[in-house]
Amino acid sequence: MQGVAATGALAGLPAWITTASAKEPPGTATGSAKVLSGTEFDLTIAETPVNFTGRSRLATTINGSIPGPTLRWREGDTVTIRVTNRLAVDTSIHWHGILLPYQMDGVPGISFRGIAPGETFAYRFKVAQTGTYWYHSHSGMQEQTGMFGAIVIDPARGESIRADRDYIVQLSDWTDEDPHRVMSKLKMQSDYYNFNQPTVVDFFRDVSKEGLSAALDKREMWNQMRMNPTDLADISGYTYTYLMNGTNAAGNWTGQFRPGEKVRLRFINSGAMTFFDVRIPGLPMTVVQADGQNVEPVTVDEIRLGVAETYDVIVSPKDQAYTVFAQSMDRSGFVRGTLAARAGLSAPVPAVDRPEPLTMGDMMGAMDHGAHGGAPMDHGMPAMDHSAHAMPATGADPLAKPSTTVRHARTEYGPSVDMRVDTPRTNLDDPGVGLRNNGRRVLTYADLRTVGGPLDKRAPGREIELHLTGNMERYVWSIDGVEFGKSTPIHFQHNERLRVILHNDTMMTHPMHLHGLWSELEDADGKFLARKHTVNVQPAQRVSFLVTADALGRWAWHCHLLIHMDTGMFREVVVS
């Protein structure tokens, strides 16, 4: 969490946090992105120097800036984006959440071969939606080194969400380290960046709350599972500097307003590995859009943005300044900006919340476990291989509700899986670890209602179940215990309506992104909630959504935590 000492809000934070300069060398623009509008766009990918920490490093930039230019499109237009590669390696751009022909989706090896050095690739497609989205590289670790930007699509019939001001708030994480070196460290020691380890003080706190015997049993159980209840994020503020619109906390990105105005803030999590918890102390936020889709307004104090998610909110500030505060889920750092009625105003920066450990519910789900809880570590007889097959039909309407019968694939019983959950929880009203009972109204998936309901009124014709799996000691991530390089495609039939169940057998939250198709989130009773392109699945949680396979082609489906994707939590979907 370098570069934040100038805020004066470091009390109680780790000693390794240092003061750093927010200077940027010539040639790299940060702090604000140019807005490009129309139907013809030219983007150039190159390496340019940047300095977020007092040390100059090379970033991967789009038109020389971090973030890249904001692209403003209009619903119904056909856009052409010419992308020129000035790097020494291949590159690509994926248009996150955008519905388009699969050849334009920008995933090397799936939808096209990538953009070679010196080449220009022309993306061309018709814009068929509205709202807030973003774009980023899908090549190597370029997303981590700065290659991302925002997309705003204006409705053809005019905007129904009324606001006097409109700001993009694009969050990201930056490391001065080579991202491949970061991954190598995690491979050697999965908690390398986790300085929030259980202490003797924590043990005696457990003793005072639960008694000596229960505290000893709890510590023994965690040791047996070779897991850490404070392992909330793979990469922390020890190496990360958190950015808001390409500016660190000391740089203090500022959006101005006039008193009495309604201000629209388009929050985008463009982080490579960081979940951000966002709030504006003293200023409630009315959520009006999730993942580019209008939702019935709901007013909250705080929102957790999973990697790749977007939320649009309306705020009504008065004649003063407000801090826009985004802290990492593991509480190892933050970035702040300011909403101000006049230039030069600022507001107090809140202290980072105390990190909370994972609970046994996070680890084991809904089961009534004993002191040790054997279910997650039970390596019993192999179960059926279910990944791309319809569930058996029983009863009058077997697909009216999502299945609750857990079916572990045979492939989960191998070296790539160190944990399995047999009794997952299905609650969508849980804000997640660190946000429970914090005295603030926190948005949950249960609060979301996409305006207009589902696009497809049909019931699902079949149901598939996929398990999110991993091995923390080996630091490998997979689906059904199979890393991408060893997997086979999942097949959807063109225009079929199906249900997908994602079952998380790991201790991490995974933001799962299905390219080219909407994921229509439902509750445990099968009732439609929200249309999304990225769905967070918490530890020991079972989440379901409906998909209409209306887009022919080859599509990527993966965890949007960059290193999780890179190490195997990725599948190809073929719609034919």
DSSP structure string for 91-130: B--EEET----GGGS--BTTTB--B-TT-EEEEEEE----
pLDDT of the residue at 11: 35
453 near 465, Cβ under 8 Å?
Answer: no
Strand order from edge to edge, sheet including 35-37: 35-37, 70-74, 148-154, 131-136, 94-96
pLDDT band at 85 (very low <50, low <70, confident <90, very high): very high
CA distances from 554 to 36, 60, 100, 103, 112 (A): 30, 27, 12, 8, 10
Tell me, what's the pLDDT at 29?
86
Say which range, 196-210, 277-291, 355-369, has the weakest mean pLDDT.
196-210
Lowest mean pLDDT among 184-188, 297-301, 302-306, 364-368: 364-368
**Which stretch of DSSP H or E encloses residue 71?**
strand 70-74
List the one residue out of 464, 254, 221, 271 whose CA is nearest residue 341. Answer: 254
Terminal alpha carbon distance of the chain: 46
List C-alpha distances in Å: 232 to 6, 22, 227, 534. 27, 28, 11, 19
Q: Looking at per-residue confidence, does 29 or 404 come out higher?
A: 404
* Average pLDDT taken over every residue of the chain: 88
Instruction: Examine the fold and report which residue of 132, 160, 188 is the final residue of a domain before the chain moves on.
Output: 160
Average pLDDT on 433-451 reads 97
CA 275 to chain CA centroid, nearest Å: 6
Beta bridge partners of 299: 286
**Short-list 74, 211, 48, 26, CA closest to 145:** 48
When pLDDT is cut at 50, 70 and 90, the band that residue 485 belongs to is very high
Is residue 271 one of the residues assigned to a domain? no
Prior bond of 49 cis (ω within 30°): no
Higher pLDDT residue, 7 or 574?
574
The CA-atom distances, in angstroms, between 146 and each of 53, 193, 364 are: 15, 21, 37
Measured CA to CA, the distance from residue 495 to residue 555 in angstroms comes to 15
Angle at 15 between CA 246 and CA 268, to 5 degrees: 25
What average pLDDT score do residues 434-439 get? Answer: 95
Other beta carbons within 10 Å of 531: 24
DSSP 210: H
- Cβ 518 vs Cβ 550: under 8 Å: no
Q: Of the candidates 160, 181, 203, which is a domain's last residue?
A: 160
Each residue of 145-172: pLDDT tens digit?
999 999 999 999 999 999 999 999 999 9
**Domain end (from 145, 160, 175):** 160
Q: How many CB atoms lie within 10 A of CB 447?
A: 20
pLDDT of residue 213: 66
What per-residue confidence (pLDDT) applies to 206? Answer: 56
Retrieve residue 381's tokens: 């007889």
Distance CA 416, CA 478 (A): 7
- Residue 105: per-residue pLDDT: 98
- Asked if residue 20 has pLDDT above 60, the reply is no
pLDDT confidence of residue 506: 94
pLDDT at 9 over 90: no
Domain count, the chain: 2
Does 359 fall in a domain?
no
Average pLDDT, integer, range 159-187: 97
* Angstrom distance (rounded) from CA 174 to CA 159: 34
Strand partners, 170: 268
pLDDT of residue 359: 85
Gyration radius of the chain's alpha carbons = 23
Lowest mean pLDDT among 99-108, 229-238, 337-346: 229-238
What element of type H or E holds 497?
Answer: strand 497-504
Select the more confidently predicted residue: 384 or 37.
37
Give pLDDT tens digits for 284-305.
999 999 999 999 999 999 999 9
Distance CA 394, CA 93 (A): 44
Quickly state the pLDDT bin for 83 (edges 50, 70, 90). Answer: very high
| Residue 558 pLDDT class (50, 70, 90 cuts) | very high
Assigned domain for 182 exists:
no
* 197 confidence band (pLDDT: 50, 70, 90): low
Q: Is residue 116 part of a domain?
A: yes
Mean pLDDT score, 225-236:
77
**pLDDT at residue 212 greater than cutoff 80:** no
- Which is higher by pLDDT, 385 or 495? 495
pLDDT at residue 198 in the model: 55
- The 8-class DSSP code of residue 480 comes to T
CA distance 553 to 563: 26
Specify if 23 maps to a domain. yes
Percent of the chain with pLDDT over 70: 85
Residue 431 sits in a domain of what CATH number? 2.60.40.420
Asked if residue 337 is part of any domain, the answer here is no
Residue 394, domain member (yes or no): yes
User: How many angstroms separate the CA atoms of 503 and 469, rounded?
Assistant: 9
pLDDT category of residue 396 using cuts at 50, 70 and 90: low
For residue 216, is it within any domain? Answer: no
The range of the structural domain enclosing residue 47 comes to 5-160
d(CA 85, CA 261): 42
Residues 243-256: pLDDT tens digits? Answer: 999 999 999 999 99
Which pLDDT value is given to residue 230? 76
pLDDT at 357: 86
Report whether 497 contacts 375 (CB < 8 A).
Answer: no
The confidence score (pLDDT) of residue 360 equals 76
Residue 387 clears pLDDT 50, i.e. is over it: no
* Phi, psi values for residue 536, rounded to 5°: -80, 135
DSSP 388-443: TSPPPP-SS-TTSS--------GGGSSTT-S---SS-B--S----TTTTTSSS-B-
Angle, helices 212-224/200-210, rounded to nearest 10 degrees: 130
Please check whether residue 524 is in contact with residue 401, taking contact to mean a CB–CB distance below 8 angstroms. yes
**CA triple 196-197-198, angle to 5 deg:** 125
Q: Name the range with the highest mean pLDDT among 21-35, 184-198, 366-380.
A: 184-198
Residue 15 has pLDDT above 60, yes or no: no
Q: Are 86 and 45 in contact (CB under 8 A)?
A: yes
Q: Among 72-86, 117-131, 210-224, which is the least confidently predicted range?
A: 210-224
| pTM (2 d.p.) | 0.89
